A = this chain, B = another copy of it.
Amino acid sequence: MSGTKWVYAFGDGSADGKADMRNLLGGKGANLAEMSNLGLPVPPGFTLTTEVCTYFTKNANSYPDDLKDQVAAALARVEKIIGAKFGDPKNPLLVSVRSGARASMPGMMDTVLNLGLNDETVKGLAKASGDERFAYDSYRRFIQMYGDVVLGVEHHHFEEILSEHKEEAGVALDTQLTAEDWKKVAKAYAAKVKEELGRPFPQDPHEQLWGAIAAVFGSWMNDRAMIYRRLHDIPVEWGTAVNVQSMVFGNMGDKSATGVCFTRNPSTGENRFYGEYLVNAQGEDVVAGIRTPQTLTKAERIEGNGDLPSMEEQMPSLYGDLCAVRERLEKHYRDMQDMEFTVQEGKLWMLQTRSGKRTAKAALRIAVDMANDGLIGREEAVKRIDPMQLDQLLHPTLDPKAPRHVLAKGLPASPGAATGKVAFSAKDAEDLAAKGEKVILVRIETSPEDIGGMHAAQGILTTRGGMTSHAAVVARGMGRPCVAGAGDIRVDYRAQTLTAKGEVVKAGEIITIDGSRGEVMLGEVKTIQPELSSDFAALMEWADAVRKLKVRTNAETPEDAATAVKFGAEGIGLCRTEHMFFDPQRIIHMREMILAGSETERRAALAKLVPYQRADFIELFTIMKGLPVTIRLLDPPLHEFLPNTDAEMEEVASAAGAKVAEVRARAASLHESNPMLGLRGCRLGIVYPEIYEMQCRAIFEAAAEVAASSGTTVTPEVMIPLVGTKKEFDILKEMVDRVAGEVGASVGRTLKYLVGTMIELPRAALRAGDIAEGAEFFSFGTNDLTQTTFGLSRDDSGSFLQYYQDRGIFEKDPFATLDREGVGELIQIAADRGRATRPDIKLGICGEHGGDPSSITFCAEVGLDYVSCSPYRVPIARLAAAQAALALAGKGKLFVDA
């Protein structure tokens, strides 16, 4: 490790690092370096790399030997640029110490500001700033922050002291306290720290600095950060960098300010400068939402009927400087930027820039606009969209015509609509959600500790905070609708109520929020299907031009099929025939059939199912207009269909004309210890051939009828489930061919169809070469293949899957994201062997993974012909398939890896 560069300097028009060193310097550090290189006004500082974090974590919280020297050198450079000295009582350099990981993790890790202050340097700051009150306010803030974050002295101690002092001084607001008051408070804070820890608050700035650095590196492993990483799939190995930067102050009076801005609107994507700022404030004041922020532009102020002047009006020259930075950064990064700035006594400083988080709608608009403007190419636009984010656009929104009883208004912080029971704590939200309830989490404001509850909730409502508040940022990232800063609502945690316009809503009552309009309604409000924008259409068209994989859908109902076609599905990849029988009218006969004691009884029950089955297929074939339809023959693990209650037993008995006792006995005899591994799939079709025969007859009769009536060619793809041996497949293919021949003869023509199989057992994957001698297509049933490869049932893994993920045993839930190493190898083997036997064999995937972008990438790599997913995932799959094609063509990294 000797000779390793651990520390990268930036500021004063140059830097050791640059933007593409994000893995080493973290996002913040890399972008500070880049801005420095661009000559933008960045307060000088330096970055301790993520490698230091890794070293720290692996070596019992210690550092590489040569780190101290490198930090000392970098600090000296900052002192020289600023013209101040760390710990100098007369002209002290103050710094901030902030985390900065490869991926943004807002609020998850610790930050310390104003570091370098002590009983001596605070006097120097007072003198240098000419503002003693500011200096002591800064000092007490530092003691509080450092005491809390680095020394672990609980927050409430400081709050109590401050309350006492305000009472003593007879004032209500912090702003009414004088320099003398803050001096006393600072003293009392320091005394409290000594009382709590048994040692004085550190006066040595270097001790302070190393304490803060250790706290930030340590915070990489705190609970909040671990939960966030799990939710966002961020590997623990990445580590965080630490940025030490000279302080600039937005709270040095009325010529100072601080703000957050986006180069375009992050909610709509509109190409207008957008942001919030506060005069005479520090950055955390904007984020905390304690003061209502001012708008950046005049236009924004007017649209929002704001009382307070915009920056454009109040500081026109500085606003001009900021606009120039906006232009510069967006052109440079070719992406919408989220920037933080501070104005200290009339000078603009840039504290951060990064690609801004945005809603799906905004992401689409920005990408399409930028491509149309020539700033980026179309393929780049395709790569810009997180496929999973599209989910937001595809789901229902509130029906504008439905009556709304608007209880309160807040900020439209994250789009979409949600209805649920009110929960006032993250824990309550999680508990309710665990019971299958839909929940709206209602908080005065959220903090990183609420992450779990936010995830569990359908939507989030806060009464305090702006568009860039914690709640707003996190909700947008998660795709949860959010109304923020609904100030008219009063929340009483103790009474478990919220009150607005005189109405009291208790915990557990139902409300609806409209995150696109910032409205809160009592009760449930009707929703409607989303309308897909022209941006969506354009991007999908570009994606379709690029992708190689076809996208089909898993559907058996006409509604699902129609939805999927609307979303661009190119066929049905999986029609689960047993799902057609869950309807109450039908399930009786399904149960009759399963519980039949003889072939005769079974045929009688089947005869009752035939008309439904044929009608279903006629409808599906009609909707699909000649697109391929893959129909899986019956595959129920029996337990899914067996009657449970006495009433159900009686119902089945009466339908079958049998005695209840007989039905009960037969149900008991069909009980299986492990139904997933029992008499199901093609085993049913082999033991009871009449079942599959009935289904094939219904399929072919329907196909013939639709072909005759519509004039389109209908080519059903008959799929045999759970095949493990070539013989099983061959026996059943012979049956399918025979029935097709019989139906064809009766309608007087030869029917077109394919016969193939699911590959969903490890043995089928290994024997794919044999099976392909008869099978014309394979569809990878990755749900079952994952179950058997891992020896892990999806139903039963709940008790430890989370535990496994938390400990990194499973990086991801293997039922959500395909396990490349194990299941993936079997798929690769099956694809290779299948193609070796039958070069034109059609290969697809129809497990849940067919709608997961990372799994789709794998499918593209293996060279499958199509993926099949649930209707609402079709656009996601189209986009993911396009990104996969670009990645395979060597055109840049995948979004999913970014």
Contacts and interface: CB of A to CB of B under 8 A. Distances in A.
Contact of A725 (B639, B787, B809): B809
A597 interface: no
Q: Which 8 A-B pairs have the closest CB atoms?
A: A677-B793, A678-B796, A763-B822, A762-B762, A674-B793, A761-B791, A673-B795, A674-B674
A822 B674 contact: no
B788 A678 contact: no
A789 B761 contact: yes
Contacts of A55: none
A789 B790 contact: no
A119 interface: no
Interface string A777-804: 0000000100111111101110110011
A302 B639 CA distance: 68
Contact of A787 (B677, B731, B822): B677
A728 interface: yes
Q: Which of A678, A807, A810, A821 has the most CB of B within 10 A?
A: A678
A272 interface: no
Contacts of A784: 791
Contact of A724 (B674, B761, B822): B822
A804 to B, nearest CB: 7
A673 B810 contact: no
A858 to B, nearest CB: 15
A731 B676 CA distance: 29
Specify how many copies of this chain sit in the oligomer: 2
B826 A791 contact: no
Interface of A: 639, 672-679, 683, 686-687, 722, 724-725, 727-728, 731, 760-763, 766-767, 784, 787-793, 795-797, 799-800, 803-804, 807-810, 819, 821-823, 825-826
Contacts of A728: 809
Contacts of A791: 676-677, 722, 724, 760-763, 784, 787-788
Contact of A795 (B674, B724, B767): B674
Contacts of A761: 789-791
A766 B790 CA distance: 11
Contacts of A760: 791
A766 B725 contact: no
B767 A822 contact: yes
A550 to B, nearest CB: 28
B793 A678 contact: yes
B676 A800 contact: no
A788 B809 contact: no
A131 to B, nearest CB: 56
A504 B691 CA distance: 40
A487 to B, nearest CB: 13
A768 B687 CA distance: 37
Contacts of A809: 686, 725, 727-728, 731
B763 A790 contact: yes
A547 to B, nearest CB: 29
B796 A762 contact: no
Q: Which of A789, A790, A791 has the most CB of B within 10 A?
A: A791
Given A687-B803, A822-B766, A674 B731 contact: no
B766 A674 contact: no
Contacts of A722: 791
Given A727-B808, A766-B825, 8 more contacts: A675-B796, A676-B793, A686-B809, A731-B807, A760-B791, A762-B788, A787-B791, A788-B789
